[in-house]
Amino acid sequence: MNITRAYDEMFMAYANLLAQKGWAKTGTNPLVGAVIVKDDEIVGEGFHRKIGEAHAEICALAQAGERARESTLYVNLEPCTTYGHTPPCVNAIIRAGVNRVVIGAIDPNPEVNGRGIKYLTDAGIEVVQDILKHWTDNLNRWYYKFIKENLPYVILKIAASEDMRLSGYPQKYITSLQSRRYVHSLRSQIGAVMIGINTLLVDNPYLTDRLVGRHNPTRIVIDPHLKIPLNTHFLIPDAHRIIITDKNNPSEKIKKLSERGVEFILLDGTDYPPQKILNALAQSGIGAVMIEGGALVFNQFLKSELYDEILLFVAPVTVNKGLELKLENTLIKNIVPEKIGGDKLYHVYRNN
């Protein structure tokens, strides 16, 4: 059979769609989907569901069973060669008798990074690379950042008025329901959301994905003086909760919060520059975080340029008061905004 690129892309697209099912659940691991095809029929499929659980290729091979022999495996990211939470996938692929492997992108993990392909080719398996690579790269941009720099991927989600005010609104929400649903969808995809203590005290946000109802992210608050009230929505036990605070704060309150399932990142002192926060998050296994307020936190991350993306929702109102976002106009000057409800969404990638 003469296999065309379009044929390979069709099954790789499905592998990427499967990979997306792992959004927010794989921790610092990549989003990976796998499809096994034999005689034009899908005989096995799978995706990486959760860090520590079986990889996508293993799930697909288990479903295919003996039908995996002399088949084609489509996997959006290069199969691993290392022993981590699970054994290397390349060994299982070789044992199953797969004779062709189509890969979306090479895994940039220094312990893999081409070794998976070499293992397979040395075993006589045909390997095809870079099929829908752009899709895989975009899907795993959070993982790529973490594996290369050992730092979380940072998205700043900002809602502002046309005069760049972050507060002073006559109502709780300045943006449209459509914009808020967009944000809730993103919360369900990313591993964690983070706010400063002032935002928690003023807004008492839930920080859930309730408008889409898929998967609540880990909630993180930067609270140097441990001001968090014990009746705040942040503490509802429907998600993983983390407080970043001074290790010398009263042990009694830390104990009370710990008994409610809250985890702590205990730091020295009460001054937490963005780099210090990101280092602490990385050590706690947070691979990506969306920052949702407030003004102080936004402006610190903007000034230090320790962000990867900005999602700026601009509502069609002017308030002439309130806290101001210190955003350089050059960041959005040449960006054509997307219309969401009545709002404008400016999507900025720092490295573009």
Residues involved in catalysis: 57
Q: What is residue 326's three-state secondary structure?
A: coil
Angle between helix 56-64 and 5-19 (nearest 10)? 110
Contact criterion met (CB below 8 Å) for 343 and 176: yes
Q: Return the CA Rg of the chain.
A: 23
Q: Quote the tokens at residue 48.
A: 């990486």
The residue length of the chain stands at 352
Nearest-5° angle of CA 207, CA 210, CA 214?
A: 105
Sheet containing 343-349: order of strands: 263-267, 241-246, 218-222, 192-196, 288-291, 153-160, 309-314, 343-349, 338-340
d(CA 192, CA 240): 9
Q: Quote the tokens at residue 241.
A: 């909760």
Alpha helices in the chain (DSSP H): 5-19, 56-64, 89-96, 115-122, 133-139, 141-149, 177-187, 197-203, 251-259, 274-283, 295-304
d(CA 144, CA 151): 10
> Which of 267, 244, 264 is closest to 256 using CA atoms?
264
d(CA 287, CA 24): 10
Q: What is residue 14's three-state secondary structure?
A: helix
